[in-house]
Chains A and B, each alone.
Chain A
Amino acid sequence: MAVVFIMPVYVMVITSLKPIDEVSLDRMWQLPTSISFESYKYAYERLAPNLLNTIYLVVPATILSALLGSLNGYVLSKWRFKGSEWVFTFLLFGMFIPYQSILIPLIEFLRQIGLYNSIGGLILVHVVYGIPITTLIFRNFYAAIPTELIEAAKIDGADFLGIYRHIMLPLSVSGFVVVCIWQFTNIWNEFLFAVSITSSGSQPIMVALQNLSGSQIVHWNVQMAGALIAALPTLLVYILVGKYFVRGLLAGSVKG
């Protein structure tokens, strides 16, 4: 079974390293006779601007949605008010909706505020629709921090922001790591918003990859090289800090 799971990666790698005259249907499983990087060169030339677009999108969107989620999680776990549980459920619902059900008004709205077909528009979209998941993860994370700490600080006269800055934030490092990895992966890989909100100039990498593989003239070795280039950043993150990725996965699916 493990072999079956690894097989697609093997095929991706060997196909992407083949020179064009070796890419034939009947030799698909054979190792390349000589290693060639020409498909990478070609795919990278095609995808480089989109790779930059995705980086411009992912970095601010990840940071902003993590900060928002942290604040919300702090409020919903340590400053509960009448109806705060109801507020949490109200936010959580947004995590599960099919985004098709908000797409038409969303595009109208972005056109009106002049952010349609821009990375800025995509950042806004990912920050807003990231609120439920980041709030959920942080709320569960902060629930584990003893309330006595907060109570003691309140007696010492610390206020909402003071407690957040001096007590919560220093304890939030691993929470931020989990949320940032999770959002980074999700936003990097997202396709529906990317393909409906942007066109040629500002398209993120996944849209460009889809266009590359959708065109009839592009050979398989280039497609596989493109897929590897597009997948590499999130794959690296998983290989380096997969533990946190899985933690985010579990935190986002089970109530803590």
Chain B
Amino acid sequence: MAFEEAGALPRPRRLPTGRLAVVAGVVLAASAAWVAGLEMPALLSLMLQWLPHLAMGFALNVAISLGAVGLGTAAGTALALMELSSWVALRLPAEGFVTVFRNAPILVVLFATTYVFPFEISLGPWHIAFPDWAKAMIGLALPAASQVAELLRGAIQSIPSAQWDAAASLAFTRSQSFRWIILPQCAKRALPPWMNLYSTIAMATTLASLVGVHDLLEAATEATTAVQRMDFTVAVYLAVLGWFFVYCYPIARFVRWLERRLDRR
């Protein structure tokens, strides 16, 4: 009997992930509505009333994440080059930096940058304010830089050395081959993990609420403390969860699509 079935094992059906995402969204909304119960209109108007405040918070999340990943990418590229350098004086500090910030919890790094940096910088006669969000941005840029360094180093090392030789035989100098031959190929390979990193950092920006940045999560806490209603509290936190999901999930889907496309080549 078993012989007949041995050919093709029934494999589970491929799950329609897109439809599931919609279902997840509906479930979230429905649970919020369920909690709201009969007081739905009051709750809805409260939510609408607080929406601008929450949106302002989320704008800060987006700004911090973009700044942190921008800074982190610039610093991480430099670190990756340092790690691949043949000079120990360049390699060791870069490796040390990457090891420290890959092992440190992001929250702890955020506390460090918040407390260690001054609240303003004095440049001669000028005093430039150093706001909390800027400190948080640097705090997130440090782990981001270590991640970028790792993924870029991996990408650079994955380019066959024949590419370097071929570039050299075409009379490119070492720095020219790196810029024109190697880096464009790396960018393609490093793009999916880099986008995942962006999504991780975007989610990590909520940690900034713990060091006094008025981000979306902080705005949600303020709203619930001001309103003091159980259904509102539940609805607001679920809304924050949904908000981030709507922002980050498309990135995750896009990365998967990109990876599949790169795989096929």
Are A and B co-members of a single complex? no
Which residues on B are within 8 Å of A, measured CB to CB?
none
Chain A contacts to B: CB under 8 angstroms: none
